[in-house]
């Protein structure tokens, strides 16, 4: 990418920050990687030859993958297969790990997110993350959701902020459950409610993409079903990438599935195809519970 292009990209992101995050997706055509897919679905993110190293140790080998726009993509694979490493490289969370280096590129709407001019804070606003264990801030329910919009200056008045908080809580199905106790601590909620609060917090800053790292592994089946239902709902407006050990969950919620093994991307495609007739023996072995 030339310096000038970098500048233009930078402005694109700045436009996104002013509230209209869709502006970027209007001009991805110049980047072949964003249009080259076998299906008709537009592509939101593209990884090309992505390798990640923790010090000397290589954790991810030449992963190239397209993530479709406003769909749910699931990453599955045994522990240590690199799926979380890959997920974290999609919003540069790996930057925070000492000794972690990478090669290759990750494009979002045609912009290389590892480009020097990319503002990481802004990037992470556009690409939110939800973690395995619900981690609400030690603040009130209201402030948990209001925190992001406040620091990003997304609301110009108290009323506007109230509306954002209400909308986000409503979208995650929490509003009815917590409307009378918005000023109680977020940590006073049940595990499932806390996770939905974290999702409300993630969507409060109007991201394009939500990354979820095992969002339901600490939840009971009912709370899990609520989060899954929420994901299906959110998918209309957001691109969602989920890492899960629960293959039934991947099968239930996602349209695309990618299988990782020993740091490589073994196979990816339509979820139905992966779970009914996978091509690779390693995928077959993993999803049917046989020795790999």
Partner 1 sequence: MSSEHIVKSYDEELNHLNEAILKMGGLAEAQLADAIEAIAVRDPELASETMRGDVKIDALEAAVDHQAVRLLALRQPMAKDLRTIIAALKISAAIERIGDYAANVAKRAIVLSEARPVRPVHAIPRMGRLVQRMIKDVLDAYTEGDAVKAKAVWLKDADVDDLYNSLFREVLTYMMEDPRNITACTHLLFIAKNIERIGDHATNMAELVYYMVVGTPLLETRPKGDDASYTMVEPPGRTDGKGNAD
Q: How far is the CB of 227 from partner 1 (least distance, A)?
A: 19
Q: Order of strands across the sheet with 239-243?
A: 127-130, 209-213, 239-243, 72-76, 256-261, 264-270
With contacts defined by CB under 8 A, name the span among 101-109, 117-125, 158-166, 280-288 that binds partner 1: 280-288
Instruction: With beta carbons less than 8 A apart as the criterion, state whether 268 and 258 touch.
Output: yes
CA 262 to chain centre: 22
Say whether 90 sits in a helix, a strand or coil: coil
Contact map string, positions 23 to 62, toward partner 1, x by CB under 8 A: ----------------------------------------
Q: How far is the CB of 290 from partner 1 (least distance, A)?
A: 5
- Among 57, 116, 158, 290, interactor with partner 1 by CB under 8 A: 290
Asked if 77 interacts with partner 1 (CB under 8 A), we say no
Asked if 287 interacts with partner 1 (CB under 8 A), we say yes
Assigned token pair, 225: 């079903």
Q: Nearest-CA neighbor of 211 among 103, 108, 64, 80?
A: 108
d(CA 144, CA 258): 32
Q: How far is the CB of 251 from partner 1 (least distance, A)?
A: 8
Q: Considering only residues 258 through 277, tell me which ones interact with partner 1, judged by CB under 8 A.
A: 275-277
d(CA 215, CA 92): 19
Q: Considering only residues 237 through 256, tell me which ones interact with partner 1, judged by CB under 8 A.
A: 247-248, 251
Task: Give the footprint of partner 1 on this chain (CB under 8 A).
Answer: 247-248, 251, 275-278, 281-285, 287-292
């Amino acid at each position: 990418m030339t310096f000038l292009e970098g500048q233009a990209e930078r402005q694109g992101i700045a436009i996104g920050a002013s509230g209209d995050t869709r502006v970027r997706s209007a001009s991805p055509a110049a980047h072949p990687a964003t249009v080259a897919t076998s299906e008709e679905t537009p592509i939101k993110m593209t990884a090309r030859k992505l390798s990640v190293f923790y010090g000397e140790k290589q954790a991810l080998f030449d992963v190239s993958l397209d993530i479709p726009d406003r769909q749910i993509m699931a990453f599955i694979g045994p522990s240590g297969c690199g799926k979380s490493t890959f997920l974290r490289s999609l919003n540069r969370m790996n930057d925070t790990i000492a000794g972690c280096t990478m090669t290759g590129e990750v494009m979002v709407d045609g912009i290389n997110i590892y480009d020097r001019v990319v503002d990481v804070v802004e990037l992470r606003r556009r690409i939110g993350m939800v973690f395995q264990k619900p981690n609400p801030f030690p603040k009130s329910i209201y402030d948990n959701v209001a925190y992001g919009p406040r620091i990003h200056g997304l609301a110009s008045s108290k009323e506007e902020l109230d509306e954002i908080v209400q909308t986000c809580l409503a979208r995650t199905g929490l509003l009815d459950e917590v409307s009378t106790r918005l000023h109680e601590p977020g940590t006073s909620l049940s595990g499932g409610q806390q996770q939905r609060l974290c999702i409300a917090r993630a969507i409060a800053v109007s991201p394009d993409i939500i990354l979820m790292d095992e969002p339901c592994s600490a939840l009971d089946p009912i709370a899990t079903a609520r989060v899954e239902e929420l994901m299906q709902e959110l998918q209309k407006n957001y691109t969602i990438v989920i890492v899960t050990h629960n293959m039934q969950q991947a099968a239930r919620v996602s349209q695309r599935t990618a299988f990782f093994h020993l740091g490589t991307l073994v196979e990816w495609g339509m979820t139905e195809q992966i779970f009914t007739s996978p091509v690779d023996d390693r995928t077959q072995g993993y999803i049917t519970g046989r020795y790999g």
